[in-house]
Amino acid sequence: MEEVIPVLNDPSFAGLVVSLGIQQEIGSIHDQLADYIFDPDTQILVPRSVLRAELVKLRDKVGVKIWAEGFSALDIRIAGFRSLLHPDYSFNPNGSIRECVIFPESVAKIAALEGTEVVLVRPWGLNTIFGGFDVSKPYYETNMWELANYDTRRYAKLLKNRQVAFLGTHDLVSHIAGLKKAAWSELQLRGEKSFDLLEAFSLESKKLQPYALVLPYLLGVIMDDLAQPANYESWSRKYIFDLIFNSIQRRDIGSRESRLLFHFPPAYEELIDLARSEDIRAVEERAPAVFGQLIKELRQFSVLSTN
């Protein structure tokens, strides 16, 4: 199949893949929907241990049903989430949510109204849904995989084409619920500029080393943040994004540098924390110095390659 598959081009297949991705995650440590499911009576978070999911079919549509054992009503605190639920099967007579019945085909049609195309991304699906999913692992083994596979360029291309991946609970709650057409002009422009930058960066070298890929990967993390409705207007993320973008453009870390990275730079996490901070003054005062430290650490924790 193609690398990127629009859900509405093959809704039955895509519905099955997306529903399986969500069903596998529900109740596990990978379940990002679980962070927003509350008991409306007690206002307490519903325990992951009682969350259940199964695949369902309605005529030719494949979907997923999510519920909590022992709870007759659920309060799901995600802006725009209710509109993604099937109206006939998800609600109690009083309008409260009984269970979440979601059909990816319908979600894709709702997203299309906001000028966004929902897609499967084959390499990501193979690495997560069909990559040996294990509920006992504390995280998907994707970070170094994404870095080595230059996934930021792939992600930038999605934004450039006004596309959103849909493979699991993260995509559902963080990217699709609450989609707004008005935000996509800026997102698309960031995607276009980033794709052009990263394409030129990669063409300068026959093989990019992890050392040279840290900044592009960091750019992708912030880009993913900015593509989430909750962060559309995040000044701090935009500020950090521009720092990284300009650094790659200047080639502070060159694509042709033959260096082996032996330790991941600690300043990376500090920069991510700043990007996600709401303290604008702290970001302005600290971010340039932390970013400078990141560049120093990349050189400090790497050695020249003899190959």
Q: Record the pTM.
A: 0.91
C-alpha torsion angle, residues 247, 252, 253, 258 (rounded to 10): 160
- Which pLDDT score is estimated for 133? 61
- Which pLDDT score is estimated for 140? 38
| pLDDT tens figures, 120-136 | 999 999 988 888 766 55
One domain, residues 151 and 221: no
One domain, residues 169 and 231: no
Six-digit token string for 71: 């709870």
Could you tell me which residues come within 8 angstroms of residue 230 by beta carbon, excluding any fewer than 6 positions away?
A: 79, 174, 178
- Which pLDDT score is estimated for 131? 80
How many Å apart are CA 103 and CA 65, to the nearest integer?
A: 9
| pLDDT tens figures, 225-282 | 999 999 999 999 999 999 999 999 999 999 988 889 888 899 999 999 999 999 999 9
Least confident window among 48-52, 58-62, 258-262: 258-262
- Which pLDDT score is estimated for 32? 95
One domain, residues 67 and 123: yes
Give residue 238's domain range.
183-304
How many Å apart are CA 307 and CA 305, to the nearest integer?
A: 5
**Mean of pLDDT values over 281-302:** 96
Model confidence band, residue 15 (pLDDT cutoffs 50, 70, 90): very high
Average pLDDT over all residues of the chain: 93
Six-digit token string for 277: 């901070």
One domain, residues 94 and 134: yes
One domain, residues 10 and 126: yes
Contact by Cβ (8 Å): 243, 191: no
- Which pLDDT score is estimated for 138? 46
One domain, residues 50 and 113: yes
One domain, residues 41 and 120: yes
How many Å apart are CA 293 and CA 182, to the nearest integer?
A: 36
Model confidence band, residue 145 (pLDDT cutoffs 50, 70, 90): low
- Which pLDDT score is estimated for 144? 61
The pLDDT of residue 289 is above 80:
yes
- Which pLDDT score is estimated for 142? 45
**Mean of pLDDT values over 102-115:** 97
Domain-terminating residue out of 179, 200, 217: 179
**Mean of pLDDT values over 29-47:** 96
The pLDDT of residue 137 is above 70:
no
- Which pLDDT score is estimated for 141? 41
| pLDDT tens figures, 194-237 | 999 999 999 998 888 889 999 999 999 999 999 999 999 999 99
One domain, residues 300 and 221: yes
One domain, residues 188 and 163: no
DSSP state letter for 36: G
Contact by Cβ (8 Å): 128, 25: no
Contact by Cβ (8 Å): 262, 303: yes
One domain, residues 232 and 262: yes
Contact by Cβ (8 Å): 225, 275: yes
Domain-terminating residue out of 145, 163, 179: 179
As for how many domains the chain has, the answer is 2
Model confidence band, residue 150 (pLDDT cutoffs 50, 70, 90): confident
Six-digit token string for 47: 């325990």
Give counts: helices (H), strands (E), the chain: 11, 10
User: Scanning the structure block, which residue is given the tokens 């870390």?
Assistant: 253
Q: What ranges in 113-183 are assigned the alpha helix state H?
A: 122-127, 143-148, 151-160, 169-170
Least confident window among 106-115, 175-184, 250-259, 287-296: 250-259
Domain-terminating residue out of 147, 179, 211: 179
Q: What percent of the chain has pLDDT over 90?
A: 83
User: Scanning the structure block, which residue is given the tokens 């069903």?
Assistant: 23
One domain, residues 140 and 208: no
Contact by Cβ (8 Å): 119, 6: yes
One domain, residues 226 and 285: yes
Six-digit token string for 253: 């870390």
